[in-house]
A and B are shown apart, each in its own frame.
Chain A
Amino acid sequence: MKPCWICNLGLMPYDQAFELQTRLAFLRYKKAIDDILLLLEHPPTVTLGKFGKIENVLVAEDELIKRGISLCSSNRGGDVTFHCPGQLVIYPIMDMRSREGNLRRFLSELEEVVIKATAAFGVQGERWSEHPGIWVEGRQIAAIGLHFVRGVSMHGISLNVNPDLEAFRVINLCGMAGKEATSIAKMAKRNVSIQQAVEFVQASFSAVFEVQLEDISCQQVLGDVFG
C-alpha cells in the first residue's frame, strides 16, 4: 500500500485551509511530500465554486456577517456550499499522475469513502448521478467539489456529522432550490461525534484508496509549510 499522511487540523478558517492546501498541492506536485489527507471543520462559511451563482446564496452578505458567517470564493468545482462546525471536511491532496483511472473515478472513490463511513452508523448514503455528492432519502449528507492543479487534487468532500442543519438554509444546496441537508446524527437518531466519524472515515479512506495512513501532527504540517 502507498503511504499517505493524515492530519487532523481541528477547526480552521476556510481561507487558511485554502492557503494550506495550495501550498501542499505545490509540494506534492514537486514530489517533496507524499499524499496527505486533511481532516478538519470550518467555522460557518458559505463558499462559491468557480462557477457558483451568487443568487444561490439566499441571505444578503451583511446578514451573513451578522450571523457570523463568512463568504468565500473558491476554485473548486460545483456551485455553492455551506460549512460549519459539526461537519467533517475531508481534503485529500493526492497526486493523480501515478494513479490508475481518471479524475471522475477519483471523485467516485471519494464518494465511496463517505458511503462506507455513514454505513458504519447504519445510514445508507447514495449517489445521485446528476448531482455528485451523497444523499440520504433525498437529503444531502455530503457535498463534494474538487480542483486539480498540475495533476494534484485539492478540496474534497464535506460530511455532515452533527451540524446545526437549520444553518444550511442560507443557501440553495449545490445550487438547487428546495433541497435540504441532513446529517449522520439525524439519520441515525443518536449523538455522533466528529471523532467517531473521523475513525470510520480514516478506515474507509484507507480501504478505498488502498493507502497506509500515517498520522502527522497539525503543528508539524503548519510549521513545515508556513515556516
Chain B
Amino acid sequence: MKKPEYNKKNSTCKSEGLSRRDFLKNAGLVTGGIAVTSMAIAAGCTDGGKTTTPTTTPPATTSPTTTPTTTAPTSTVPTTTPTTTPPTTTGNGGFVYMPPASNPELVDVVGCTSKVAADRLYSEEHVWVKLIEDNLAVIGMTDKMQLLLGLVERGELVLNPVGTELVYDGWLGNFEGQKMNVDMYSPVSGIIIQVNDELYVNSRVLESEPYLRGWLYVIELSRPEELDNLLDPIEYATAQANPNA
C-alpha cells in the first residue's frame, strides 16, 4: 500500500484525503478481530481494559509425582528477592537439569549485535529452545531480550510453576521492571517439569549467562513438531541484524 507523501516544508502532514488503506497497510487485518482478541488474552488482558492481575502468592509446591494439570497457566509472582519458601524445582521424578559450564559456540552475522548461540532454536519473540532429550527441551530468553530489558537485577521475574501446561504462543512469563513490564511468549507447547530456581535469588545470570545458568524452564514437549516453526541461529541472528525486513 502506498503511504502518504510528507510535506517536506512543513512538519505537519495532510490528513485529509488519506484513505483507510493509507493507515492500514494490510486491509485484511481490519477484520482480524478474533486474532486481536486472542493476542490480548495471551497477554494476560481481557476485554474492556480489565486485566488478569497475577496473584501475589508464590508458586504452589508440586510434588514430583503430581500429574500435570491441563488447566490454563496460573499467574504467580515469585520475585527476585530470596524467599523463605523456594518454589518447587522439578516435577519429573528427580530429573534435574544442570546447564553446561562452558559457553556455546556463537554465530557471527554482520549487523547482529547480540550473542546468538549456535546450538539451539529461536522464536521471533527472543526465546530460545534447546532439545536435551527426545521430548525434553530447555527454554530461556535470549541475549537480545536481556539487552532490551536492561537492568535485569532491578526487575521482577514472573514465571509459571512446575506442572503448568504451556501453549504455543501463549503466556510464558513476565518481566516487571520499574514502571514497565514485558510479556514473554512460549515457543512450544508442553508441560513445565522444572523451573530455574537460581533466577529467584540471582537474576543477574539472565544478563551474564543467558544461554547457560539463565535458562527458565525444562519442558516436556507435547507437540515436538512445533520446533519446525522456530528459527535456526543464522535466521535469528539475521533477523536481529535486519529488524525492518
- Contacts known (A48-B53, A212-B6, A214-B4); A148 close to B183, Cβ less than 8 A: yes
A210 to chain B, nearest CB (A): 12
A15 to chain B, nearest CB (A): 4
Select which of B12, B24, B176, B243 is within 8 A of A51 by beta carbon: B176
Q: Tell me the residues in window 44-92 of chain B with beta carbons closer than 8 Å to chain A beta carbons.
A: 44-45, 47-51, 53-54, 56, 77
- Counting residue pairs across A and B whose Cβ atoms lie within 8 Å, the total is 159
A102 sits at the interface (CB 8 A): yes
- Contacts known (A26-B35, A27-B29, A217-B15); A104 close to B243, Cβ less than 8 A: no
- Contacts known (A104-B177, A206-B11, A215-B12); A224 close to B182, Cβ less than 8 A: no
Q: Tell me the residues in window 16-66 of chain A with beta carbons closer than 8 Å to chain B beta carbons.
A: 16-19, 22-23, 26-27, 30-34, 48, 50-52
User: How many A residues, CB 8 Å from partner?
Assistant: 59
Q: Is the CB of B150 within 8 A of A146?
A: no
Select which of A15, A52, A146, A151 is within 8 A of B48 by beta carbon: A15
A70 to chain B, nearest CB (A): 9
B185 sits at the interface (CB 8 A): yes
- How many interface residues does chain B have, given as a range? 35 or more
Q: Bound complex: CA of A72 vs CA of B51, how far in Å?
A: 9
Q: Is the CB of B51 within 8 A of A30?
A: no
Select which of A15, A149, A151 is within 8 A of B43 by beta carbon: A149
Chain B residue nearest in CB terms to A102: B150
Q: Is the CB of A215 within 8 A of B179?
A: no
Select which of B23, B54, B151 is within 8 A of A104 by beta carbon: B151
Q: Is the CB of A30 within 8 A of B180?
A: no
Chain A residue nearest in CB terms to B151: A104
Select which of A22, A34, A105, A145 is within 8 A of B36 by beta carbon: A22
- Contacts known (A15-B49, A32-B29, A227-B30); A216 close to B39, Cβ less than 8 A: no
A-B contact pairs, 19 of them (CB 8 A): A3-B6, A15-B48, A30-B29, A32-B26, A50-B181, A51-B77, A73-B50, A73-B51, A75-B45, A102-B150, A103-B149, A103-B150, A104-B149, A104-B180, A146-B179, A148-B183, A206-B11, A224-B20, A224-B30
Give chain A's interface residues, CB within 8 Å of chain B. Answer: 3, 5, 14-19, 22-23, 26-27, 30-34, 48, 50-52, 72-78, 96-98, 102-105, 107, 132-133, 144-151, 206, 212-217, 220-221, 223-225, 227
